[in-house]
């Protein structure tokens, strides 16, 4: 079964064909002699999940919410490692549209994961740190679900990292010669008496001898 068609027939448009392809069993050969498990149920209830790698992300204006590119993958295991490989004729954001991380949905321009933020991501109580997108290359479990407008949409769930670094500490003043500006006395000011701390033209206050 081909994942895409260029010409439709009546109600069977290329877009409709793409949705049918995403829901039927057997998405095509996986390169290893097997078949790919049907990736999703779109009519509610439990949804079948599949592995996908996260790609580039585009932030939704002013919030810690991103649209994610993605590609369906399968696991390749050996006795000492686990890697992934793209599924031949598999699903992706090219065929199904960008994916959303459902953990981000409640974030606003001023609050993200319960933290106060500025510009949607910068932590206001922790200078130099921000809530970041899910990194490209992250492997997640993904599923397809139908939105209220009827379109088929990819969703996943993954924590967002907090990135940044502490602000640099202030440097000590070494070899400084300018210590600021001080008030200069008036030209007609009289000097204070160094022994009694006498205020000129006023009462003398004797603080005894030091």
Per-residue model confidence as pLDDT tens digits over 119-161: 899 999 998 999 999 999 999 999 999 888 888 889 999 999 9
pLDDT of residue 32: 42
Three-state DSSP class for 115?
A: strand
Q: For residue 189, what pLDDT band results from cuts at 50, 70 and 90?
A: low
| CB within 8 Å of 56: residues ≥ 6 apart | 68, 69, 136
pLDDT level of residue 170 (50, 70, 90 thresholds): confident
Predicted local confidence at residue 191, as pLDDT: 62
Place 171 in a pLDDT band, splitting at 50, 70 and 90.
confident
């Amino acid at each position: 079964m081909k994942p895409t068609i260029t010409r439709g027939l009546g109600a069977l448009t290329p877009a409709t064909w793409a949705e049918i392809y995403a829901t039927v069993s057997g998405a095509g050969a996986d390169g290893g002699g097997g078949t790919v498990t049907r990736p999703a149920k779109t009519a509610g209830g439990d949804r079948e999940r599949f592995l996908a790698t996260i790609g580039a992300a585009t932030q939704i204006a002013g919030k810690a919410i991103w649209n994610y590119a993605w590609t369906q993958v399968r696991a390749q295991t050996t006795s000492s490692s686990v890697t992934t490989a793209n599924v031949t004729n598999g699903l992706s954001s090219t065929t199904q549209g960008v994916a959303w991380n459902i953990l981000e949905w409640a974030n606003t321009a001023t609050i993200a994961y319960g933290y106060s933020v500025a510009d949607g991501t910068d932590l206001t109580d922790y200078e130099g740190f921000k809530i970041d997108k899910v990194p490209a290359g992250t492997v997640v479990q993904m599923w397809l679900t139908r939105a209220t407008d009827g379109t088929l949409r990819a969703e996943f769930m993954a924590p967002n990292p907090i990135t940044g670094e502490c602000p640099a500490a202030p440097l000590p003043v070494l070899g400084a010669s300018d210590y600021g500006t001080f008030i200069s006395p008036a030209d007609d000011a009289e000097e204070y008496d160094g022994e009694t701390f006498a205020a000129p033209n006023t009462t003398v206050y004797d603080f005894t001898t030091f």
